[in-house]
Amino acid sequence: MDIATGAEIALTDYCDNANRSGGQPEALYAESLTIGTDATLNLNGLHLYVGGVMIVPGAYGAGEVVDSPVYLAGDMNCDGHVDGDDVQPFVLALFDPDAYVAQYGGCDLCAGDLDADGDCDIDDAVPFANALLVK
C-alpha cells in the first residue's frame, strides 16, 4: 500500500463481517506500507497490520499514522450508515443540540452539517433528506 505525498487517507469499515472477537475493531492486512512526505493515514479506530506487525499512531516513513474518528455526514446516531434511523437524532440536533449531545455524546454534531456552512441548522434539512435517498 502506497500513500502519496501530502495525501490524507482514512480507513473505513463499511461492512461488519462479524469476525470480531470480544468487540475488537476489524483489521486490514497489508504486505507493505509506504507513507509519503506530509501524508497522513487515519486508522479511524481500526487495526492495521503490515507484514504481520500492528501499526500504531505516530511517525511512519515520511508521514504519520493517526487514530481519530471520522464522521459520515448525516450519520447522526454513529452507526456508520445514513438511513431512517438517523432522522430522529437529526431532528433532535436541529431543535435541541444540548439534548442531542446528552443522548448521543459519542457522536459529532457536525455530522448534521450537510451543507458545510459550519453549523447544523434548518439549512441542512434538504441535504440531509437527499443523503437519505442516495444509496
H-helix or E-strand containing 49?
A: strand 47-50
Report the distance separating Cα 52 and Cα 29, nearest Å. Answer: 8
- Assigned domain for 73 exists: no
Length of the chain: 135
Residue with cell 472477537: 21
Torsion of CA 16, 133, 112, 18, to 10 degrees: -10
**Can you give the residue range of the structural domain that contains 106?**
84-133
Please determine, for residue 126, whether its predicted confidence score (pLDDT) is greater than 60: yes
Query: Which stretch of 4-13, 53-62, 82-91, 92-101 has the lowest confidence by average pLDDT?
Result: 4-13
Number of domains in the chain: 2
Domain check: are 10 and 51 in the same one? yes
What is the share, in percent, of the chain residues with pLDDT greater than 90? 61
Q: Please, what is the Cα angle at 65 between 118 and 74, to 5 degrees?
A: 30
Mean pLDDT of the chain: 87
- Domain end position, chosen among 66, 94, 120: 66
Average pLDDT over residues 79-97: 93
